[in-house]
């Protein structure tokens, strides 16, 4: 446990030596299959690395669903607050949107096929793009 705390403290201290702005934020799902997997894969980190930029990470169950069809009135406000922090504090000027297949937050929609599911994700991503 002490080793974990030491590593965590070092991460905090080292962050003070970095600039406090970044170019982009990424809104994606919190699903573990996308992040920090025990097999070593981290698809979101790999995506950000390919972009070659620093990027705030905003995670929500269902990615953009809190914008398209929030299940609670506070969900949209909470997401907008995170975006506002990125824009005001980190001077973000680009927001990337990343949804994924087989998302548990989309379980209320009964897809009859993978194509139908992909079509819904594309529709939601396009809607979110217009939202801004």
Query: Which stretches of the chain bind Zn ion, using CB under 5 A?
Result: 29, 31, 103
Closest separation between CB of residue 131 and Zn ion, Å?
A: 19
Instruction: Considering the complex, state which of residue 56 and residue 66 has its C-beta at the smaller distance from Zn ion.
Output: 66
Instruction: Considering the complex, state which of residue 92 and residue 105 has its C-beta at the smaller distance from Zn ion.
Output: 105
Instruction: Please name which of 25, 27, 21, 24 lies closest in space to residue 90, comparing C-alpha atoms.
Output: 21
Instruction: Considering the complex, state which of residue 54 and residue 82 has its C-beta at the smaller distance from Zn ion.
Output: 82
Please state, in angstroms and rounded to a whole number, the distance separating the CA atoms of residues 21 and 19. Answer: 6
Closest separation between CB of residue 42 and Zn ion, Å?
A: 15
Please state, in angstroms and rounded to a whole number, the distance separating the CA atoms of residues 35 and 28. Answer: 10
């Amino acid at each position: 446990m002490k080793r974990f705390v030491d590593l965590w403290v070092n991460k905090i201290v080292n962050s003070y030596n970095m600039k406090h702005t970044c170019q982009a934020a990424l809104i994606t799902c919190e699903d573990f299959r996308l992040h920090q997997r025990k097999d070593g894969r981290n698809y979101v980190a790999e995506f950000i690395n390919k972009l070659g930029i620093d990027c705030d990470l905003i995670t929500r169950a269902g990615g953009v669903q809190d914008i398209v069809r929030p299940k609670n009135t506070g969900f949209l406000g909470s997401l907008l607050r995170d975006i506002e922090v990125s824009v005001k504090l980190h001077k973000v000027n680009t927001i990337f949107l990343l949804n994924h297949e087989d998302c548990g937050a989309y379980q209320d929609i009964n897809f009859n096929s993978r194509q139908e599911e992909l079509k819904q994700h594309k529709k939601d991503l396009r809607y979110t793009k217009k939202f801004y």
